[in-house]
């Protein structure tokens, strides 16, 4: 992977992340006045290799190679650690059946939890299978769940609501004892544009978990579903008035779901022989927190470097007490939009071609030191 200076190193001065596959893909949710989207280190573009049996350091830094507790999956699913791996720049979760009726699949869980306000988006290729292809979030106590992606890609189905032209965009609230589960059952919970067969290509599916009572779902960058308020989030008060308020783990897996298997919608041995049809592929997953626009930026006021005017619509002037080597301008998604070699103590930089918004300036000094500053382009 190519390391990038942007992301957490710029925003919160702690971690360095990498040049991502999504670097040229904008976030479809507007941050709003005084806010920016801060990329989280749990994000993963899977641009490394991790064997199915011996997971790599890159994988282990972000993922636990199993469900978030000891549960082995909904019968007849058996989650196995050797059924998830990373290759060809993708996370791959395969399915198999060695004997009997159990279906072996993989399941991984994030090592960092997420909490609103957060935008989570993934680029996935749904399996051509009756199995479920899943990316979801679940609280550690299994009482609150947000389904980012749940889909069934096979042509073999018993109900049109579960056809390969639909994506399940939903959430759950639970009471564990005695067990009760509420989830939306409106038509929009199984999204379709009546054209796209989702298994045929990679698609971006995201959810903006705005707060405990507001969810927005996005498909390929377009908002397709909104759930807001008590009546649409928790009408039975299973959360005791708190809504979707708990931290959640991010989980990626495939399942032979009990309610479908009981209807005969479980893979046949002949179907499972086609491993590609029964491999869920995830190109990337990105996670952004909504933070104050000034959060974590390094103050260069006393560094001997001056940048003015800021905000600017046309040019910025850079003056320094010591020699500046290079200026780099980053978009908030991590992509470099401008690089200028300065080799001096002052320079006027044209920023008129930049779109309006917030950018990050990285100023590299001749002595090897770096300074970071926010730029507002108007």
* Residues forming the active site: 145, 150
- Residues 78 and 65: their CA atoms lie apart, in Å, by 14
Closest CA to 256 of 94, 90, 123: 94
Q: What is the DSSP letter of 177?
A: T
- Residues 265 and 287: their CA atoms lie apart, in Å, by 33
- Residues 112 and 68: their CA atoms lie apart, in Å, by 11
Evaluated on CA atoms 302, 308, 309, 314, the torsion sign reads negative
Phi, psi of 12 (to 5 degrees): -135, 10
Q: 219-253 burial, b for 16+ CB within 10 Å, e for fewer?
A: beeeebbebeeeeebbeeebbeeebbbbebbbbbb
- Identify any residues that bridge with 91 across adjacent strands, giving them in sequence order: 86, 282
Closest CA to 95 of 264, 246, 275: 275
* 3 state DSSP class of 192: coil
Residues in the chain, total: 378
Residues 328/336, Cβ–Cβ less than 8 Å: yes
Radius of gyration of the chain (CA): 23
């Amino acid at each position: 992977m190519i390391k990038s200076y942007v992301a957490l190193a710029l925003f919160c001065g702690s971690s360095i992340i990498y040049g991502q596959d999504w670097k040229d893909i904008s976030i479809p949710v507007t941050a709003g006045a005084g806010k920016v989207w801060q990329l989280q280190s749990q994000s993963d573009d899977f641009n490394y290799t991790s064997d199915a049996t011996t997971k790599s350091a890159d994988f282990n830094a972000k993922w636990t190679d199993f469900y978030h507790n000891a549960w082995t999956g909904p019968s007849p699913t058996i989650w196995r650690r050797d059924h998830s791996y990373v290759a060809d720049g993708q996370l791959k979760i395969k399915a198999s059946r060695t004997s009997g009726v159990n279906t072996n699949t993989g399941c991984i869980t994030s090592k960092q939890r997420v909490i609103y306000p957060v935008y989570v988006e993934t680029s996935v290729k749904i399996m051509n299978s009756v199995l479920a292809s899943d990316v979801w979030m679940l609280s550690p106590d299994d009482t609150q769940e947000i389904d980012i992606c749940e889909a069934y890609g096979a042509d073999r189905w018993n109900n049109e609501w579960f056809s390969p032209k639909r994506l399940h965009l939903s959430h759950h609230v639970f009471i564990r004892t005695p067990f009760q589960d509420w989830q939306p059952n409106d038509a929009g919970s199984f999204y379709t544009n009546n054209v796209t067969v989702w298994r045929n290509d990679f698609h971006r599916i995201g959810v903006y978990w705005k707060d405990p009572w507001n969810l927005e779902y996005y498909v390929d960058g377009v908002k397709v579903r909104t759930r807001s308020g008590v009546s649409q989030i928790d009408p039975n008060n299973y959360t005791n008035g708190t809504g979707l308020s708990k931290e959640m783990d991010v989980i990626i897996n495939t399942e032979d779901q009990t309610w479908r298997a009981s209807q005969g919608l479980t893979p046949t041995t002949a179907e499972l022989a086609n491993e590609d049809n029964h491999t869920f592929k995830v190109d990337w997953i990105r996670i952004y927190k909504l933070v104050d626009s000034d959060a974590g930026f390094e103050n260069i006021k006393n560094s001997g470097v001056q940048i003015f005017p800021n905000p600017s619509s046309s040019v910025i002037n850079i003056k320094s007490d010591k020699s500046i080597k290079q200026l780099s301008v980053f978009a908030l998604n991590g992509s470099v939009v401008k690089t200028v070699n300065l080799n001096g103590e002052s320079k006027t930089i044209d920023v008129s071609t930049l779109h309006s918004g917030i950018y990050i300036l990285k100023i590299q000094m001749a002595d090897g030191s770096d300074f970071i500053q926010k730029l507002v382009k108007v």
